Structure 1
Amino acid sequence: MAAVSSQVREMVLAHIRDEPLRPGDRLPPERAFALAWDVSRASVRAAIAQLTDDGVLTVRQGAGTFVAPPKVERNLWDLRSLAESAREAGRELRTEVIDMRVVPADERTADLLDLAAGADVLSLRRLRIIDDVPAAVETSMLGLSRFESLDAVDFGARGLYETLADDYDTVVTSGHQRLGIDAIGPEIAEHLDLAETSRIFHVTGTASDESGRPIERFESWLRPDSIRFISDLQNIEEAV
């Protein structure tokens, strides 16, 4: 069955190329493919599952199977914003502010941002929407002693790193992050329109300026059907 489904996978790809179908276009139902190619519906279903895992197709419950738009690629070594990555992929990104408030820094945040415990920090949580699909929830925490009045900015209209560069002459040039795949939880699931049982990308870390001074503590939840992580590789021993 695996060999047949691989062949059917190539036939589906050829169908997409030859029609041609564009992102958002609907594929014929499994039954039509099975009849046209004289294969089992199980083989068609397996091929579609493979292509869905590859990010080529997307299945909408009750609506059918569609050609997926290209994923936004995030290089693990790249400090560009999600907005820049989306523009590079030809996608439209907009932002909704879920919550923005001034809170006292807890011990962990104070340690990571080199602040006194209890110092005022801006806690900013944003929903990032790519082509009308909720793709990521991002939380940022920044010390207000350095970025006075940052809590007055409309981050639905302006980017965080853009604001830091333009208004505070501060550019993010380095950082540290940890990437995992974790259970989503009810709050994030609701924002991203996913089942609570879903597992998605979970990124945590810090960003620093050119002097190495920490600027931001961040945490992001990203849908794997919208965003793909890549990395540039090198031989560390040869580079030393």
Structure 2
Amino acid sequence: MEQRPIIALDFPNKEKTDQFLQHYKGERLFVKVGMELYYREGPALLTALKEQGHRIFLDLKLHDIPNTVYSAMKVIAGLGVDIVNVHAAGGRKMMEMGLKGLEEGTGNGQTRPQLIAVTQLTSTSEEQMQKEQLIERPLKDSVLHYATLAYEAGLDGVVCSALEAKEIRDTTSNQFLRVTPGIRMQGDTVHDQKRIVTPSEARKIGSSLIVIGRSITGAEDPYAAYKKAKLEWELEK
């Protein structure tokens, strides 16, 4: 299984992204491209990243009627990315149609992008979920329900907090990916995340892959910060 931490390229444009990647010249990374950067630069950025040898998690969190997600995933399948995602709240049918779109859009001899589903955002607190989403259950119950739904729909995994990763693994399977954002190095600023852990803690409690943003991209020495996070993550294998 892939071991490198995923670096969140939360930059406004390609210029800022290229400046950041200069710190890693010659090194192949696993990067996350989110809405801001993708909507600004489009597929050309993905092509450039793949030409540099990087793996890509395209984080667009699709959530729409099943046929729209199906059609969008047929297009995304041809972009050369490695992981894409949807919101589990869109329902089992939507997730199944998203997977079908990826399968049909993947060319002969190519590998289908892995499809994972967002359970609850790591910025969501239990109080907020209950008050604003009217889900009158513990947050962990909602996450496990969405994870089980994604598993039954045939998806490859979920996006979740590392705090829920072990129970999701135990409820589904060890091969079902638990991709966990909300990762911070010890002593870093929390910002808008509510449920956070360190790379070492994430591995110990069941994460398959971790996503790190500002702890690396905002560091004085981004390369050293990445190496530190990578070492901490891999030491717990």
Structures share fold, TM-score greater than 0.5 = no
Structure whose CA Rg is larger: 1
TM-score by length of 1: 0.25
Structure with more of its chain in helix, by fraction: 2
